Structure 1
């Protein structure tokens, strides 16, 4: 058992879940939520902070500021608290309440923007607010996860090699796309590996990361209202876009078997399942990356009233399969039935 003195020193990176019994397709899920920040964003946050420290950008009186929809904000809050920095997270109304409260509990301040940008999202507004802060006071230090090479380098050094060691015969890797840090780090690593690996990027419908029309997105995490500056599509073999309704159904399908994952994971799993349904999966080794767990989504993805208000009563219709592989009888199993009083 490890003994640590700083919260960012612990990060379980070798846990995989075999989803075949749940989805009906051969898919291994790399779980990245088992650390004190609760998500894969701890890797990028740690890399960017340490790089800023090495370069002398961060000083004792510095205030770290970052635009985040949630998980990176939590990771930076934890690291800032551990190292003695102040941290201000600039986010928007889609950020889960539990995430905002968690950042504040760690001593950070949270600023919520309400004005939409030209693409119908909040990212542009958040970035402009960060820029104005940095221009007003040189104590503010913007790590800029959207352009910082430490974002993808963290996954080149850790996430991809962890997958490679566990699955030396990997055929296809599914990676959710937000800033594209995880995607580019893994894609660059496997481009240089000893056998070809198909890289499939998973995006949310309504995101403009890979082009297309902007649209409403209510689940934070994946997707962007601008093209990610870190993205190099030459490393990507294919892009899958997932409707948020399918994200929710995938989350609930896994939860019914005891695995409570976050919205980003639901998007990646749904996209992977639909891709696998169209391909011959015999002798195929497929891995998807799960960015976080589900506790921070209890008031959204797992909250019935929120779901019905935004997606209608049919969102949790048990007769509609969550993935194309689901063949189980939609009627409740005997083990799922509650005893009558």
Structure 2
């Protein structure tokens, strides 16, 4: 029985969902949403805060400031509340309302960016605001998840070894790209293991610039970026896949029809993994794992609300009710 004194101490590392029953593909989904922050971002947040405290950058009286699409904001809000720091989370208008409410309920401040930068989108506008805050007040400490190596180090130390422990014969790993902290930490770990034959595939949303594609509109927070993350190093990856947001929505709803309510990022990763396996290893009994960043409860106002889905994507209930074993096209490889 785990007994903890701080919320960041607990994270369920050993839960995997076998998706073969739902999809007929040999794919295991590592569930990272079972902690007090509800997402994989708790690991990165705890790692970055601990490193900033150790270096003396973060000390009593400091104010943490960070740009986030939501999940890291919740994780930092939780840690800031526990440690007594003030926290300002800079989000944009795509962030789920329930996510913003959680951050504020933890005692943190949320600043919403409503206009994207003409050249770097909402992310660029959020980062500009963070820089302005830091330039105007030296008590602000920007952890900068997009460039902070303690982001990927968290997953090098925890996420990747946990996968290796459960699947020592792992062949394929599918990881979504947001800040690319999870992706880079896992990819670096497996590339560093002597004799490792693990193929690491990065998965992102269409409209994101991380993999070198042209920027485009995106409505689901989580994966994707309007500015290429400084952490990203393509040389550690074996393949790259882009998934359209309508296919993300379809996958989320198909998983929900099977009783699994996952977040939008998970829908993207699962869709990309299934398409990649269908294209490159059809009918083969391989050992493959995909990482699920979060659960679906904070997407009830967007991904799982029929009116929002119809307004944004033109998808209706019959189309969303695709049987779980249906894999539709829609993945693009750069």
Same fold (TM over 0.5): yes
How far did residue 228 of structure 1 move? 1.1
Give the SS at the match of 2:213: coil
Distance 1:137 1:315 in 2: 50
Structure 1 runs (4+) greater than 3 angstroms displaced: 313-316, 318-326
Matches within 5 A, 1:1-341: 1-119=1-119, 121-193=121-193, 194-280=195-281, 281-314=283-316, 316-317=318-319, 324-325=326-327
TM-score by length of structure 2 reads 0.95
Q: Deviations over 1:31-79 (max 9, x none)?
A: 0000000000000000000000000111111000000000000000000
Distance 1:307 1:319 in 2: 13
Rate the CA distance shift 1:169–1:306 in 2: closer, same or farther, 3 A. same
Aligned partners of 1:169 and 1:285 also within 8 Å: yes
**Of the two, which has the highest radius of gyration?**
1
Distance 2:324 2:219 in 1: 19
How far did residue 195 of structure 1 move? 2.3
Distance 1:249 1:320 in 2: 7
How far did residue 116 of structure 1 move? 1.0
How far did residue 297 of structure 1 move? 0.1
How far did residue 323 of structure 1 move? 6.4
Aligned partners of 2:257 and 2:324 also within 8 Å: no
Distance 2:11 2:323 in 1: 34
How far did residue 154 of structure 1 move? 0.3
In structure 2, stretches of 5+ residues that fail to align are 329-334
Distance 1:83 1:318 in 2: 43
Distance 2:185 2:96 in 1: 27
Rate the CA distance shift 1:15–1:67 in 2: closer, same or farther, 3 A. same
How far did residue 182 of structure 1 move? 0.5
Aligned partners of 1:119 and 1:226 also within 8 Å: no
Distance 2:325 2:130 in 1: 40
In structure 1, stretches of 5+ residues that fail to align are 327-341
